[in-house]
Amino acid sequence: MVTKLIRISTIILSFFFLTGFTPMLSFVGPGVTALTSGNIYKASAQFIINKKIEKETGKNSLTLVKTFVEDEINKKSHKNSFEEDLKQLVKKRIKITRKKLDDQNFEKLVKKRIKITRSVLKLNNINQ
Question: What does pTM read for this prediction?
Answer: 0.33
Q: Which of 35-39, 48-52, 71-75 has the weakest average pLDDT?
A: 35-39
Mean pLDDT of 71-96: 83
CA torsion 73-75-77-83 (nearest 10°) is -150
Q: How confident is the model at residue 91 (pLDDT cuts 50, 70, 90)?
A: very high
What's the pLDDT score for residue 92?
Answer: 93
**32 contacts 47 by C-beta, under 8 angstroms:** no
Q: Is 21's pLDDT higher than 60?
A: no
**50 contacts 60 by C-beta, under 8 angstroms:** yes
